[in-house]
Amino acid sequence: MNEKDKSEVLLNYRLAYRSESNVNWCPALGTVLANDEVKDGVSERGGHPVIQKKMMQWSMRITAFADRLLEGLDQIDWSNALKETQRNWIGKSVGAALFFDIQDHPGQIEVFSTRPDTLFGATFLTLAPEHELVDAITTAERSEAVAAYKEKAASRSERDRMADTKTISGCFTGAYALHPITKAQVPIWIGDYVLASYGTGAVMAVPAHDSRDYAFAKHFDLPIVEVVEGGDITKESYDAKSGKMVNSGFLDGMDCMNAKGKMIEHLEEIGYGKGATQFKLRDAIFGRQRYWGEPIPVFYENGIPKTLPLEDLPLTLPAVDAYLPTEDGEPPLARAKNWTYNGCPLETTTMPGWAGSSWYFLRYMDAHNETEFAGESTVAYWNQVDLYVGGSEHATGHLLYSRFWTKALYDLGYITFDEPFKKLINQGMIQGISAFVHRINGTNTFVSAGLKDQYETHPLHADVSFLQGDELDVEAFKNWREEYKSAEFILEEGKYICSREVEKMSKSKFNVTNPDDIVIKYGADVLRMYEMFLGPIEQSKPWNTQGLSGVAGFQRKFWKLFHRDGTFAVSDASAGKNALKAAHTCIKKVGEDIENFSFNTSVSAFMIATNELTELKANNREVLEPLVRLIAPFAPHLAEELWEKLGGTGSVTHTTYPQHNESYLIESSKNYPVSFNGKVRFQLELPLDMDKDAIEKVVLEDPRTLEQIGEKQVRKMIVVPGRIINIVIG
Partner RNA sequence: GCCUUGGUGGCGGAAUUGGUAGACGCGCUGGAUUCAAAAUCCAGUUCCUUCGGGAGUGCGGGUUCGAUUCCCGCCCAAGGUACCA
Which residues within the stretch 277-336 sit at the binding site for RNA (CB under 7 A)?
280-282, 284-285, 287-290
Burial class (CB in 10 A: 0-12, 13-18, 19+), 1: exposed
User: Parallel, antiparallel, or unpaired for β 724-729 and 714-720?
Assistant: antiparallel
Among 218, 398, 500, 637, binds RNA (CB under 7 A): 398
How far apart are CB 284 and RNA at their closest, in Å?
6
Among 277, 611, 651, 659, binds RNA (CB under 7 A): 611
* Residue 728 lies near RNA (rule: CB under 7 A): yes
Among 267, 259, 251, 117, which residue's Cα sits nearest to residue 180? 267
Among 395, 408, 430, 624, binds RNA (CB under 7 A): 395
Amino acid of residue 728: V
Contact set for RNA, span 206-265 (CB under 7 A): none
Rank residues 501 and 640 by Cβ distance to RNA and give the closer one. Answer: 501
Q: Are 62 and 283 in contact (CB under 8 A)?
A: yes
How far apart are CB 566 and RNA at their closest, in Å?
13
Rank residues 210 and 226 by Cβ distance to RNA and give the closer one. Answer: 210
Rank residues 549 and 661 by Cβ distance to RNA and give the closer one. Answer: 549
Pick the piece of the chain touching RNA (CB under 7 A) from 107-115, 184-192, 497-505, 649-657: 497-505
Pick the piece of the chain touching RNA (CB under 7 A) from 138-146, 306-314, 318-326, 542-550: 542-550
* Residue 394 lies near RNA (rule: CB under 7 A): yes
Among 158, 301, 366, 418, binds RNA (CB under 7 A): 158
Contact set for RNA, span 188-207 (CB under 7 A): 198
Contact set for RNA, span 341-360 (CB under 7 A): 352-354, 356-357
How far apart are CB 581 and RNA at their closest, in Å?
15
Pick the piece of the chain touching RNA (CB under 7 A) from 39-47, 477-485, 492-500, 603-611: 603-611
What is the C-alpha separation between 174 and 607, in angstroms, rounded?
A: 76
Among 7, 118, 598, 705, binds RNA (CB under 7 A): 598
Q: Are 361 and 385 in contact (CB under 8 A)?
A: yes
3-state secondary structure of 15: coil
* Residue 139 lies near RNA (rule: CB under 7 A): no
How far apart are CB 35 and RNA at their closest, in Å?
4
Q: Are 504 and 429 in contact (CB under 8 A)?
A: yes
Rank residues 443 and 545 by Cβ distance to RNA and give the closer one. Answer: 545
Contact set for RNA, span 54-73 (CB under 7 A): 55, 57
- Residue 151 backbone class (left: φ over 0; alpha: ψ -120 to 50; beta: rest): alpha
Pick the piece of the chain touching RNA (CB under 7 A) from 29-37, 39-47, 517-525, 687-695: 29-37
Q: For residue 729, what are the contacts with CB-CB under 8 A and spacing of at least 6?
A: 676, 677, 708, 709, 712, 713, 714, 715
How far apart are CB 388 and RNA at their closest, in Å?
13
Where b means 16+ CB within 10 Å and e means fewer, 274-296 reads eebebbebebbbbbbbbbebbbb
Other Cβ atoms closer than 10 A to 691: 9
Pick the piece of the chain touching RNA (CB under 7 A) from 138-146, 312-320, 439-447, 531-539: 531-539
Rank residues 70 and 608 by Cβ distance to RNA and give the closer one. Answer: 608
- Which string of x and - marks every residue 622-651 that binds RNA (by CB under 7 A)? ------------------------------
Rank residues 35 and 369 by Cβ distance to RNA and give the closer one. Answer: 35
Amino acid of residue 301: E
User: Parallel, antiparallel, or unpaired for β 567-568 and 304-307?
Assistant: unpaired
Pick the piece of the chain touching RNA (CB under 7 A) from 4-12, 141-149, 261-269, 715-723: 715-723
Among 339, 341, 436, 554, binds RNA (CB under 7 A): 554
* Residue 393 lies near RNA (rule: CB under 7 A): yes
Rank residues 251 and 408 by Cβ distance to RNA and give the closer one. Answer: 408
Burial class (CB in 10 A: 0-12, 13-18, 19+), 532: buried
Contact set for RNA, span 657-686 (CB under 7 A): 671, 673, 675, 677-680, 683
Phi, psi dihedral angles at 240 (to 5 degrees) = -65, 150
Among 314, 294, 296, which residue's Cα sits nearest to residue 306? 296
Pick the piece of the chain touching RNA (CB under 7 A) from 34-42, 410-418, 436-444, 478-486: 34-42
Among 34, 184, 257, 476, binds RNA (CB under 7 A): 34
Among 411, 354, 410, which residue's Cα sits nearest to residue 383? 410
H-helix or E-strand containing 438?
strand 430-440
Rank residues 551 and 587 by Cβ distance to RNA and give the closer one. Answer: 551
What is the C-alpha separation between 157 and 43, in angstroms, rounded?
A: 12
How far apart are CB 304 and RNA at their closest, in Å?
22
3-state secondary structure of 238: coil
- Which string of x and - marks every residue 498-527 that binds RNA (by CB under 7 A)? ---xxxx-x-x-------------------
* Residue 713 lies near RNA (rule: CB under 7 A): no
Among 258, 535, 568, 697, binds RNA (CB under 7 A): 535
At CA 315, angle to CA 312 and CA 318, rounded to 5? 130
* Residue 88 lies near RNA (rule: CB under 7 A): yes
Q: Which long-range contacts (CB under 8 A, 24 or more apart) does 719-725 make?
A: 719/692, 719/695, 721/688, 721/690, 721/691, 721/692, 721/695, 722/670, 722/688, 724/672, 724/673, 724/675, 725/672, 725/673, 725/674, 725/675, 725/684, 725/695, 725/699
- Residues paired with 306 in a beta bridge: 299
Q: For residue 365, what are the contacts with CB-CB under 8 A and spacing of at least 6?
A: 374, 378, 379, 381, 382
**How many residues of this chain bind RNA (CB under 7 A)?**
95
Q: Are 64 and 49 in contact (CB under 8 A)?
A: no
Among 19, 89, 294, 389, binds RNA (CB under 7 A): 89
Among 275, 305, 536, 633, binds RNA (CB under 7 A): 536
Pick the piece of the chain touching RNA (CB under 7 A) from 99-107, 251-259, 458-466, 721-729: 721-729
Rank residues 440 and 718 by Cβ distance to RNA and give the closer one. Answer: 718
What is the C-alpha separation between 435 and 433, in angstroms, rounded?
A: 7
How far apart are CB 396 and RNA at their closest, in Å?
4
Q: Does 314 sit behind a cis peptide bond, omega within 30 degrees of 0 on the bond before it?
A: yes
* Residue 539 lies near RNA (rule: CB under 7 A): yes
How far apart are CB 597 and RNA at their closest, in Å?
11
Q: Are 197 and 35 in contact (CB under 8 A)?
A: no
Among 600, 633, 657, 684, binds RNA (CB under 7 A): 600
Contact set for RNA, span 413-472 (CB under 7 A): 429, 431
How far apart are CB 398 and RNA at their closest, in Å?
6
At CA 305, angle to CA 302 and CA 307, rounded to 5? 125
Among 369, 544, 653, 661, binds RNA (CB under 7 A): 544
The C-alpha R_g of the chain, in whole angstroms, comes to 34
How far apart are CB 95 and RNA at their closest, in Å?
17
* Residue 33 lies near RNA (rule: CB under 7 A): yes
Contact set for RNA, span 164-183 (CB under 7 A): 165
Residue 172 DSSP one-character state: E
How far apart are CB 323 and RNA at their closest, in Å?
14
